[in-house]
Structure 1
Amino acid sequence: MPSADHRLTPRRKPRQVRAELTRERILTAAAHIFAEFGYAAGTTNRIAERARVSIGSLYQYFPNKDAILAELLVQHIDRGTWTGVDDLDLSPGTLEATVRAFIRDAIDNHSDDPRLLRVMIEEAPISQALRDTVDRHTRLRTAQVREVIVRHPDIRVGDPDIAAEIILFAVEINTHRFMAAPRATPVEVFEDELVAMVTGYLRGGR
């Protein structure tokens, strides 16, 4: 990622419950506005009106709508969870089910609102908080995938570190693109195809 823009840093860090609730109300309103009107027409005035706060109050928390969208993406990433490795059955013959658990987590993490997801993917600027969040989750999820690779008896790959990065990238990028786009293909079909691709790679298919 390119260097973060300091203009995207939120202005006010809430220290009281009421202030935190106001901040969350602004973010919730922004999510609805961006999904309904798109990013260009999703103005701070519309966000403030939907949040029932003055435009001055909004600017106490966020300097502009870019900072609001960047924070929404940070929250989106932080809400995403993956099945813990200790919750998986890694016995022989379970590879496809293991892969499906990871892919279903990725799908579930992107299933809330495809319109908002599309806006975040296409328009979200890079804040320092976003850089830090992406780095933290990438390290965590790559480590989870790598642990499965080294522990599962059915997996045959040359380099567990590279394989973990490849799998994470493939699952995240394809899931983002599929879930954010208008589609006629059922999500179950997408899931089955992605499971088949990743499972085949991990079994040593070339």
Structure 2
Amino acid sequence: MPEEPRRQARGQRRMEQLTDAAAVVFAEAGYAKATTNAIAKQAGVSPGTLYQFFANKEALAEALADRYRAELKAAHEKAFDLNMAKLPLPELVDRMIRPMVEVNLANPGFKALFSSGDLPDRLTAPTRALQQAVTGRVAEVIAARIPDLPAEQRDTAAAVATQIFAALLGTIVTAPPADRERWITELNRALVGYLSPLESA
């Protein structure tokens, strides 16, 4: 492998290492109280090494936001694939909720950081827009599954289903790994129980 691509790969790994460390420190201390020294310590590097890749903590938060948005978009594409709309309802619900659970498990510091209110709005706004789009994506799946359902009823159902998911997501993410599947099963049951009467409405 030529030296230049090898150096680029090392640099990319270092940036990911620093971004991972920033996620931990931001989640523990909050954005306002986090310092680049604490992030460098968490990453196991010197502050000078951190500054070779990121000018300040806002640049780290921006990298973290960019990474999360990319992962969230990919999760949306898997979760809200309209080709799945006619699957048996429990299977459809399972295939919708798992990518969304996985992206939150993979980014444990993100929710604490981006809901804290102390991060610059220009960093949080695009992510909020993606999160708010979930209800619309759920409504699209319901429309594909139950095309005769009135639009107002469909949109209400999508909003309620999204709230049910959000209400249990925190429990799932913070549960010990051994208990997580049990909570995912309960979330599936709650959503199927709520959505199934719509199919015979």
The count of residues paired between Structure 1 and Structure 2 equals 180
SS of corresponding position for 1:204: helix
Kindly indicate whether the alpha-carbon contact (under 8 Å) linking 1:100 and 1:195 is maintained by their aligned counterparts in 2: yes
Kindly indicate whether the alpha-carbon contact (under 8 Å) linking 2:85 and 2:141 is maintained by their aligned counterparts in 1: no
| Alpha-carbon distance change, 154 to 203 in structure 1, aligned in 2, over 3 angstroms | farther
SS of corresponding position for 1:120: helix
> For the residues of structure 1 that align with 2:148 and 2:192, how far apart are their CA atoms?
9
Q: Deviations over 1:60-94 (max 9, x none)?
A: 84544x66446525532431213242341515xx1
Unpaired segments of 5 or more residues in structure 2? 1-7
Please tell me the residue identity of whatever aligns with 1:97. E
Unpaired segments of 5 or more residues in structure 1? 1-16
Q: Give the superposed CA RMSD.
A: 3.7
Higher helix share: 2
> For the residues of structure 1 that align with 2:18 and 2:177, how far apart are their CA atoms?
33
> For the residues of structure 2 that align with 1:184 and 1:79, how far apart are their CA atoms?
21
| Alpha-carbon distance change, 130 to 117 in structure 1, aligned in 2, over 3 angstroms | closer
Q: TM-score, normalised by structure 1?
A: 0.65
Higher-RCO chain (CA-CA 8 Å, sequence separation at least 6): 1
> 1:26-175 residue pairs with structure 2 within 5 A?
26-33=18-25, 38-39=28-29, 43-49=35-41, 50=43, 52=45, 54=47, 58=51, 61-64=54-57, 68-69=60-61, 71-73=63-65, 75-80=67-72, 81-82=75-76, 83=78, 84-90=80-86, 94-112=88-106, 114=108, 116-117=109-110, 119-120=112-113, 123=116, 125-139=119-133, 141-153=134-146, 159-175=153-169
| Alpha-carbon distance change, 151 to 118 in structure 1, aligned in 2, over 3 angstroms | closer
From 179, 182, 194, give the equivalent of 1:201.
194
> For the residues of structure 2 that align with 1:167 and 1:73, how far apart are their CA atoms?
26
| Alpha-carbon distance change, 29 to 88 in structure 1, aligned in 2, over 3 angstroms | same
Kindly indicate whether the alpha-carbon contact (under 8 Å) linking 2:18 and 2:50 is maintained by their aligned counterparts in 1: no
Kindly indicate whether the alpha-carbon contact (under 8 Å) linking 1:85 and 1:147 is maintained by their aligned counterparts in 2: no
SS of corresponding position for 1:90: coil
Q: TM-score, normalised by structure 2?
A: 0.66
| Alpha-carbon distance change, 57 to 194 in structure 1, aligned in 2, over 3 angstroms | closer
